[in-house]
Amino acid sequence: MRPFQVARDDSDEVLDEANPTPAEPPTGVVSDHVSQPIPSLPPQPGLKRGLQIPSRISHITWGFKLPPALAKAGVGKKEWETFTHEVKRHARMSKSQFCTVLAFGFAIGVICDMFMWPIGTVIGGVYCHKRQREKEHENFTVAHTSGALRLMAHRWNKSYFEPLGLQVRLEPPDAIIYDSLEEMDVASTKLFKYEQKKGYSSPAAGEDSGKGDKKEIKYMSKEGRERLKAARKGRIIITPFVPDADGLAALMRKAWTMERHANHVDEGPSPSQLALPARGTSEF
C-alpha cells in the first residue's frame, strides 16, 4: 500500500483568462496549504505492533511517562499530561477511602510502637502505602468494568490520537494477558529502551535484534520478568490506526484544524477544498 500523496495544486494560483474559476484539483490531490501528513503507520519500531505503557510505579496516580517513540509520532507533552491526568482521576481514592486507610495505618503504627518502638511507625506507613495501591487498583478496575475508561479512550481517540495515526485503550492491573498484548512491546523494559536508543528493530516484541550486542543480550535475559512486572500495573495501550476511505476525510479536516490551531493561522483554505480519491480507485 502506498501512502496518500500530498501534491501541489497550481490551480489555486493560476487562473485561466477565459475562465476566471479555478480548475478543480486532480483526483487524489490535496492542496499544498495542508502540510501535516495524512495519518499513517508510525515509523518507530514498537508502535507498528503496539506498545504497552505501564504506570511509573505500582500506584497509578504516579502517572505514565511519555516514551520517546510516542513523542516522535507527534504526541505533545502538554496533551499527554492532560490525558494521563484524566486517566489518574479514575484511580484516585475518594475522601472516605483515604480517611479509612489513614486511620487504619495510624492505629497499626500506634499498636506496633507499644511493642517495637520506633519500628511501629514504619510498619504503619508500609500498611498505608500497600492499601493505597490496592484501592487505586480497585477503583481503576471498577472504571474499566463500568465502561468509563472505554468512553474516555474513545473520546480522546476521536479528538486527538486518531488524527496522529494512533489509537489508545486502557487496561487495568493484573488483567488477562491476551496474545495480542504479548505481541506488543513494553515501554518500561530495559530491552525496549536500549533498542530504541540504538535504533534497532527487533523481529518480534521482547526479542533481541540479532545484532550480537552483549548489553542487548543481557537485557533480553530480564525481559520476561520486566514484562510480568508491567502486567501488574495499570497500562495505556497504543496501537496503530489506519483509517478507511470513509473516515479519511474527517481525519484530514481534523489534522488541518489541529495544525492551524497550533500555528495560530487565520487564513487558508477550508477543509471542503480537500479532495479524496474516487471510491474504488484509491491505493491504500
Residue-by-residue pLDDT tens, the chain, 284 positions: 444 444 444 444 444 444 444 444 333 333 333 334 444 444 455 588 889 999 999 999 999 999 998 998 899 999 999 999 999 999 999 999 999 999 999 999 888 888 877 788 889 899 999 999 999 999 999 999 999 999 999 999 999 999 999 999 999 997 665 556 778 899 999 999 998 888 887 888 888 888 878 888 889 889 989 998 998 999 999 998 876 655 555 556 666 666 666 665 544 554 444 444 444 443 43
> Are 146 and 196 contained in the same domain?
yes
Give yes or no: residues 31 and 144 share one domain. no
Whether residue 31 sits in one domain with residue 78 = no
How far apart, in whole angstroms, are the C-alpha atoms of residue 146 and residue 92? 16
Residue 164 · residue 39 · CB < 8 Å: yes
- Say if residue 17 is in the same domain as residue 29: yes
* One domain, residues 232 and 247: no
Q: Are residues 138 and 79 in the same domain?
A: yes
Say whether both 83 and 155 belong to one domain.
yes
> Which of 223, 241, 259 marks a domain boundary?
241
Task: Say whether both 235 and 160 belong to one domain.
Answer: yes
Q: Are residues 84 and 209 in the same domain?
A: yes
Question: How many CA atoms, within 13 angstroms, populate the side-chain half-sphere of residue 241?
Answer: 22
Coil vs helix vs strand at 137: helix
Q: What does the buried/exposed string (b/e) look like for 187-205 if buried means 16 or more CB atoms within 10 Å of the residue's CB? A: bbbebbbbbbeeebebeeb
Task: Give the structural domain span for 114.
Answer: 48-241
- Cell numbers placing 227: 514484562
Q: For the whole model, what pTM was predicted?
A: 0.69
Report the run of H or E that residue 59 belongs to, with start and end: none
Number of domains making up the chain? 2
Phi, psi of 13 (to 5 degrees): -110, -30
